Every structure is written in structure tokens, then in C-alpha cells.
Amino acid sequence: MSTSESAPWLVVGLGNPGPEYAMNRHNVGFMVVDLLAERIGGKFKRASKAQAQVLEGRIGPMGPANRRVILAKPMSFMNLSGGPVNALRDFYKVPVDHIVAVHDELDIDYATLRLKLGGGDNGHNGLKSMTKAMGADYHRVRCGIGRPPGRMQVADFVLKDFASAERKELDWFVDRAADAVESLVTEGLERAQSAYNS
């Protein structure tokens, strides 16, 4: 097994800390890693080396596909996510291609997923900060939230809670995104894309 194969994965949910942001569209990344934490059966704790909450565990079936993961929620605000993620990367010795950012994406319809490796930040401040800190060659699980209606500003839209019509599908959407992360980590990008990209 190569070093890269045996290296842990760092799965980062992007969001803003604090109860007032918990159900915002911008916090769907936090929702997904919270569900993954529930599946692993652990609780987040404050990281000693970074401004983040972390949970270490394993994902996938027993055997060669079983992977060590560190789930993380940066406790800086969204536009400063890169610092905490980079500190965790250094501490846990995670290669950049073993980092997965789970984040909201305006240019994809609501409840639609797209997985990819590398690329631009598309104006997303969390990705911008991560890319500035360590380059762009990390994986992304892009959770579609759609565009703001009418003339609503993007900043207002992402910092609003999901609408009641959206909330009907939210549990299913978050569950599917968590499945996509597990597939990416245990089976690789191509398989995860063919199963979850829509």
C-alpha cells in the first residue's frame, strides 16, 4: 500500500459557526459532516492545533476499502476557512488530494450534487480561502442551492435559512451528500461521480 493510499482523509464541511447560522444555505457543508459524525457514532471536539472542531473515525466496509477520516468544521468564519484547514492538514499529514471540501454551490440547482477534483472557487469565499492556503488540488462535493430569486443579493441569499419548500427535501439531500462523501473516500472519484453527479 502506498503512502498516499494509507494516508487519512480530511473531510471539511464549510459553514459559519454559531446557532444563528445553523440552518443557513451557506451551512449545508456543516450539515453533511454532522450527519457523517452521527453515522460514525462520535462527537466533535475542539482541535488543539487548529481553530476547528474535529472527529476522527473510519468510513467504509471492513477490509481494504475502510478509510481513516478526520471530519472537520472550521470555527473561523467562512472566508477564513483556509487557515484552520491547512493547520489540520499539517497536523494529520494529509495529502492535498485526500482533502474533501463539502460546500454550497450557487450555480447548481437545489438538491443537486456534483463531485470534482480541483478547479476554481466560483466566488465561494470558503474555497477561495482554502485554495489560497494550499492550492486548488483538493476534492469538492458541491451541494447545489440554486440562484437567489429576483434581485436578492447573493450574500443575503446564502445567509438565509432554507425555505420551507426546500426543507421538505433537505434531509434527503444531506443524506445523499453524506453518501457521496463516503463513496468518494472509499471507492474513488470516478465511481462517486458516476453514482452521484446529476
**What single-letter DSSP state applies at residue 27?**
G
Which positions are annotated as active-site residues?
26
Record the cell numbers describing residue 87, joined without a space: 493547520
